[in-house]
Amino acid sequence: MAVRWWVLTDNRYLRYILSQTSPFGIRFSNAILYRMRIDRLLDQEKPPFTGLVFRVFGSDDQEAAMALAQKHNLSVGTCADSDIVFAFQDNVPVGHVCFKSGTVLLSELEREETFDDGVYLLSMFISPSARRRGVGKLLALYAIEDAARKANYRYAYLYVRMENLASRHLVESLGFEAVSTTHFLRTFGLKSYQSGAPPQPIRSKHNQ
């Protein structure tokens, strides 16, 4: 029987101690895989947001996207070979998200996964001044719309760290459903992966 080592991270004090061990060769992550049918997303009405402009950079236009990110001190290093959509306000980027299909390098889990039947969203960032204003939701919708115009994808996917309640609330408000949880542990170069059931939606917790 596999040892359920990840139960240690359920305790916030032990989780904090483990989070400080990366320099010593120990690293862990509890990540939830979310999935949603793209046709359901495309039917959603976009929230109003005046003064916001979106621009999509394809994977063949990476040089321009990287130059823009560098100019504004944005980190898009994990978005190699991905499409990127930027949100601009007053000609200044206030957020971005990368998206691609096929094989994706998941830096959080230190492995690759393949999403042939859908598009995967990664590396979403919203400037602090633009948070809690619906920018993240619009970025996700625009990214998926652009991907759907290029290919007949069925699903949209993304991983979210279990303790990132703000991001979980965002993706669940879009209609994404948790599929599974992956528990990852690296100890001195040795990697361990264990799968678990998805957690309960946080929306239901907020409504209690």
DSSP 3-state assignment of 56?
A: strand
DSSP 44: S
pLDDT band at 130 (very low <50, low <70, confident <90, very high): confident
The CATH number covering residue 200 comes to: 3.40.630.30
Write down the pLDDT at residue 50.
64
pTM of the model: 0.85
The DSSP bridge partners found for residue 194 are 183
- Number of structural domains (the chain) is 1
Q: Is residue 4 part of a domain?
A: no
φ/ψ of 49, rounded to 5, equals: -155, 100
Around Cβ 109, how many Cβ atoms within 10 Å?
18
Q: Is residue 2 part of a domain?
A: no
Structure tokens at 45: 């009405």
Percent of the chain with pLDDT over 70: 86
pLDDT band at 1 (very low <50, low <70, confident <90, very high): very low
CA atoms in the 13 A half-sphere facing the CB of 81: 6
Question: Domain span at residue 128?
Answer: 9-206
